[in-house]
Amino acid sequence: MAVINGSTATLADFIWKNAEDLWGDFKHTDFGKVILPFTLLRRLECVLEPTRQAVRDAFHLHKDSDIDVDLILRQTAGYPFYNTSEYTLATLGGTKTRQNLQDYVAQFSDNARVIFDQFEFTNTVLRLDKAGILFKICQNFSAIDLHPDAVPDRAMSNVYEHLIRRFGAAVNEGAEDFMTPRDVVHLATALVLDPDDALFESNPGLIRTLYDPTCGTGGFLSDAMNHVAEYSNRFKVPPVLVPYGQELEPETHAVAVTSMLLRALESDRGRDLSKNIAGPYSTLSRDAFAGERFHYCLSNPPFGKKWEKDQAAVEAEHRRGFEGRFGPGLPRINDGSMLFLMHLASKLERPEKGGGRGAIVLSGSPLFNGGAGSGESEIRRWLLENDLVEAIVALPTEIFFRTGIGTYLWILSNKKIPRRQGKVQLIDATSMWEPIKNEGNKRRIITDYQRDWIVQIYASEQDSGCSRMVDYRTFGYRRIRVLRPLRMALQVNEQTLQKLREDKAWAKLSEEQQDAWEALLARHMNQAKAYSWVEAFAQEAAKTAPKVGKVSKALVKAMLEAFGVRDPNGDPVRNAQGDVVPDPDLTDYENVPLTQDVNEYLASEVTPHVPDAYIDPDFRDEKDLQVGRVGFEINFNRFFYEYKAPRKLEEIDAELKQVEGEIAALLGEVTE
């Protein structure tokens, strides 16, 4: 049996060499559907090998009895799954390979057999058999040792993700979107769990729940469980994390189920953790853990993905208000990131039961997308006003496999310590990275040392070069509508009359009505009138000139627009009630910091430049009913911007002359 030592890439490359036997019979886009399930099958087979015969013996001994055979076989296997087949990949034979392999897979316990259903493995086996290469592929995989003692969980998870990246990238698909780089996983896990060190120390063996709504291959879950297992170096009895997850994509869901089948809780080794991995279906439209909450949550949802497939279910839940997950608001359809943000917040364990803390990786758009009153702003408002955002960490660019964009790690908590209440810690970790050999768009890594440094900055709760403790109200503002009086006189002349003739309201009049109006207006030609003159003139015309017919509001409005000429030095126009009429062309908006009075802001920032400006008293927030609509945005760069003086012109000029000289020299060599 081949035992492959070395890097994840080396092991993955060894497995991938099976692709050489698939060329010609399978499209390269289908290689993953062959290689990945066989890898999972071999992993399960290696785990069961030591107890395989004992399980078969127990099965034949008890299969016809009334006792719970399933329970006995799990105990015999030492895992929450088993296989009672007489076959292995190495003993399928070369004549009836397909039938024997199908029997082999069928003899797995239900919780393991579902893994192969996700890959439609039966169809794959039929295609391999028809191509005459099924026996060869089985022999190839039977020669690899994938037992956890040879390939630990973390290494195997890396292999799965390496393979998914490889066949996903081959067809330019989003397979890599399912994976979170290990350095990001480790950082998020440490930020979520380490603050509870004192809790773990004072409660040996404390059982806590862990949830990932977009669990992919289960990397977040596995790493967090490994993380607390290492606490045994400090505590007598480390805490226990019970994992829960949900995944949309069938292939990655199958990998996550496999990973959890092979894990056991020290406090309950017979527990089948794979049952806690729901899917494959969308968390947004079908919450597998509706009504449940968890002590810790970790998530890396897809960046910038539309949620139109979930739209009907999400909007229906939104209409339920805060009885559902999406009460605060809905983002635009082209990006569902903030739906996952609300979902994660809804899953935090209630404070009276110990509270919850979560970490979610997002792009930059949830920080600022949407103005006051928009769905995005209202979601931020709800999170901040309910004091659920504990910290936001700006991560380095180029640390993800498929994108080089800036990303942010949000830390949510409903159990903030007193010093953090009402505040959000912003941490700029964009410079904390080391270069690595490219893996797709991943060119940088956060090292263990840098991760520990970020965690220390987070724990310090202080202002420093790369950390700011910010009152949440600093992110808020009131968007006020600033009006200015309409200053307008009316001019009745041939030019303005022609403008009236071109209006739709005038065109609806009969020829007789138009002649009647023309005759009345002729008496006022080349005269200036007050703005209020039109209404009085129209009312008088209706009484004294029957031929004009009924005077419509549209016609009065058309006269105002046609005869009106703005006069900056004129008196403000007032309506019938004596109120100033605003000029719609001069309407403006201002964002006033939430901590500042809107009238004081107007007096200091607006009226010194526009003395007649005033605030529209009817433009109010729908929730607090105060003047101005409340908005929230988190301008991260504002808190860490450092001014850099521009280079001196003499330096730039000298550098340009040097470059010009070099270009001239090169051109001279070409022309010689």
pLDDT tens-digit series, residues 91-142: 998 889 999 999 999 999 999 999 999 888 999 999 999 999 999 999 989 9
Whether residue 236 has pLDDT greater than 80: no
Q: What pLDDT, on a 0 to 100 scale, did the predictor assign at position 664?
A: 78
- What's the rounded mean pLDDT across residues 178-185? 80
Distances (CA, A) of 386 to 198, 297, 330, 424, 635: 26, 18, 18, 12, 19
Degrees to nearest 5, angle at CA 482 with 481 and 485: 130
CB-CB contact of 232 with 238 (8 Å): yes
Q: How far apart are CA 297 and CA 388, in angstroms?
A: 13
Task: Look at the chain and count its residues.
Answer: 672
Mean pLDDT of 305-333: 95
Asked if 406 and 444 count as a contact pair (C-beta separation under 8 A), the reply is no
Are 14 and 4 in contact by the 8 Å Cβ rule? The answer is yes
Q: Which of 547, 529, 454 is nearest to 186 (CA)?
A: 454
List residues bridging with 314 in a β-sheet.
Answer: none
Query: What is the distance between the alpha carbons of residues 115 and 277, in angstroms, rounded to a whole number?
Result: 11
Tell me, what's the pLDDT at 654?
Answer: 83
Among candidate residues 600, 604, 565, the one with its CA nearest the CA of residue 583? 565
Residue 287: both structure tokens together: 């919450």
586-613 average pLDDT score: 95
Burial state string for 174-197 with b = 16 or more CB within 10 A and e = fewer than 16: ebbbbbbbbbbbbbbbbbbbbbbe
For residue 377, what are its two tokens? Answer: 């702003």
Strand partners, 469: 425
pLDDT, average across residues 607-625: 95
pLDDT-wise least confident of 155-169, 288-302, 503-517: 155-169
Half-sphere exposure of 655 (CA within 13 A, CB side): 6
Closest among 286, 150, 164 to 216, alpha carbons compared: 164
Place of tokens 């809905």: 330
List, as one string, the DSSP characters of 122-189. Answer: HHHHHHHHHHT-HHHHHHHHHTB---TTTS-HHHHHHHHHHHHHHHHHHTT-SGGGG---HHHHHHHH
Check residue 413 and give left, alpha or beta (phi > 0: left; psi -120 to 50: alpha). Answer: beta
Return the closest-CA partner of residue 258 out of 119, 99, 371, 58. 119
Q: State the pLDDT confidence band at 175, using cuts at 50, 70 and 90.
A: very low
Coil, strand, or helix at residue 627? strand
Average pLDDT in the chain: 88
- In the prediction, which pLDDT does 227 show? 85
| Phi, psi for residue 439 in degrees, rounded to 5 | -125, 90
Question: Which residues does 250 contact at the CB level (< 8 Å), separation at least 6?
Answer: 118, 119, 279, 280
- Tell me, what DSSP letter sits at residue 2? B
> Do residues 22 and 34 lie in contact, with contact meaning Cβ atoms separated by under 8 Å?
yes
Q: What is the pLDDT of residues 367-404, one digit of tens each?
A: 999 999 999 999 999 999 999 999 999 999 989 877 78
Return the DSSP state at 350. Answer: P
Kind plus residue range of the DSSP H or E element containing 304: none
**pTM for this predicted structure:** 0.84
Taking the C-alpha atoms of residue 590 and residue 605, their distance in angstroms, rounded to an integer, is 10
| C-alpha to C-alpha distance for 623 and 230, rounded to whole angstroms | 47
pLDDT of 5 over the 50 cut:
no
- Measured CA to CA, the distance from residue 291 to residue 323 in angstroms comes to 10
pLDDT tens digits along 471-497: 999 999 999 999 999 998 888 999 999
3-state DSSP helix/strand/coil % of the chain, to nearest 5: 50, 15, 35
Helix or strand holding residue 106 (H, E): helix 97-106
Query: CA 253, CA 119: separation in Å to the nearest integer?
Result: 10
666 pLDDT higher than 90: no
Does the pLDDT at position 501 exceed 80?
yes
- 343 versus 643: the higher-pLDDT residue is 343
The CA-atom distances, in angstroms, between 81 and each of 39, 56, 226, 271 are 17, 13, 22, 10
For every residue of 228-296, which 3-state class applies, written as one string?
A: HHHHHHCCCCCCEEEEEEECCCHHHHHHHHHHHHCCCECCECCCCHHHHEECCCCCCCCCCCCCCCECE
Q: How confident is the model at residue 422, as a pLDDT?
A: 96
Residue 403: name the closest of 374, 452, 440, 355 by CA.
440
DSSP β-bridge partners for residue 423: 471
Cα(601)–Cα(597) distance, integer angstroms: 6
Q: What is the pLDDT of residues 29-40, one digit of tens each?
A: 778 788 889 989
Q: Which has the higher per-residue pLDDT, 228 or 154?
A: 228
How much is the average pLDDT of 663-671?
Answer: 75
Q: Number of H helices and number of E strands within the chain? A: 26, 18
CA distance 15 to 256: 19
Distance CA 476, CA 470 (A): 12
- The confidence band for 550, taking pLDDT boundaries of 50, 70 and 90, is confident
Give dist(CA 478, CA 494) in Å, integer.
46
Is CATH 3.30.1340.30 the classification given to domain 175-472? no
Answer yes or no: is pLDDT of 42 > 60: yes
Give the least confident one: 194-208, 323-337, 641-655. 641-655
Per-domain boundaries in the chain: 8-170, 175-472, 485-566
- pLDDT at residue number 92: 92
Rounded Cα–Cα distance for residues 304 and 365 (Å)? 9
Round to whole Å and give the CA distance between 44 and 82.
9
Phi first, then psi: what are they for 54, rounded to 5°?
Answer: -65, -40
Examine the pLDDT at 574 and tell me if it is beyond 80: yes
* pLDDT at res. 58: 93
